[in-house]
């Protein structure tokens, strides 16, 4: 895989899994996060980046352009999830709501906007945003998070129409519960999530989500844009 891919939120969880997955397949990966990215692999370039700051994003996209000549793909993964405040709407503070929307929605919008010149220069490319199954199912005391991921899907669909003429595709992946640090912390640890309501009868893994993202970044999905692909073992349907 010769692609040049920008992955945000790469320090842990799914972002780290995406980085390791694509590096193992020979891609050049620019792995960025507001924290230090503890990854040292061939083909991986790490950098600090605040996805809510346009200047910070412009700087890391500039790295890809200077060192690799551009980008072919983007995984807009950075989001607040691990450690998120879970509270009824009456108790949720405006500050917490704004913090989640700032990273989870504005951060995706700014990431796409910053990467577009590099994708256009390459003749097109593919963007994958990370949404969530909770948009379909809802979740108690997570109204801010659910709203943010619903906005990601809406943004993805709007941009699919806007960017198609530039040969830039954009799709969302909507994972169900997945065994990552954030997922396990949210449910209280390993073994706390009951998969009996899932037709495939098991919990999702990082590899499951990586496979979906790889498909949407690759040539096999060349006529797919504006879609939200559920990766949840069939627990909910679109």
Please give the positions annotated as active site: 145
Q: Which two tokens stand for residue 191?
A: 């073994």
CB 49 within 8 A of CB 61: no
Using alpha carbons, select from 52, 57, 50 the residue that is nearest to residue 11.
50
CA 213 to chain CA centroid, Å, is 9
Q: Which two tokens stand for residue 192?
A: 């706390």
Q: Which two tokens stand for residue 170?
A: 């954009």
Residue spans of beta strands (DSSP E) within 34-190: 44-48, 73-76, 125-130, 168-175
3-state class (DSSP) for residue 33:
strand
């Amino acid at each position: 895989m010769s692609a040049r891919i920008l992955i945000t939120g790469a320090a842990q969880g799914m972002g780290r899994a995406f980085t390791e997955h694509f590096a193992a397949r020979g891609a050049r990966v620019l792995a960025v996060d507001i924290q230090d990215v503890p990854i040292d692999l061939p083909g991986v370039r790490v950098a600090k980046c605040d996805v809510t700051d346009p200047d910070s994003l412009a700087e890391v996209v500039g790295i890809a352009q200077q060192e690799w000549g551009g980008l072919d793909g983007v995984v807009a993964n950075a989001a607040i999830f691990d450690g998120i405040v879970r509270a009824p709407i009456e108790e949720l503070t405006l500050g917490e709501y704004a913090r989640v929307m700032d990273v989870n929605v504005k951060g995706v919008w700014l990431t796409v906007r910053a990467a577009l010149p590099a994708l256009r220069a390459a003749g097109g490319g593919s963007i994958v945003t990370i949404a969530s199954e909770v948009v379909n199912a809802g979740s108690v005391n997570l109204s801010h998070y659910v709203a943010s991921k619903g906005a990601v899907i809406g943004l993805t669909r709007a941009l699919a129409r806007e960017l198609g003429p530039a040969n830039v595709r954009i799709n969302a992946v909507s994972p169900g519960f997945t065994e990552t640090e954030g997922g396990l912390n949210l449910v209280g640890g390993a073994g706390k999530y009951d998969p009996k309501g899932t037709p495939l009868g098991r919990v999702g893994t990082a590899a499951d989500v990586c496979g979906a993202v790889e498909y949407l970044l690759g040539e096999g999905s060349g006529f797919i844009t504006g879609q939200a692909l559920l990766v949840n073992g069939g627990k909910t349907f679109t």
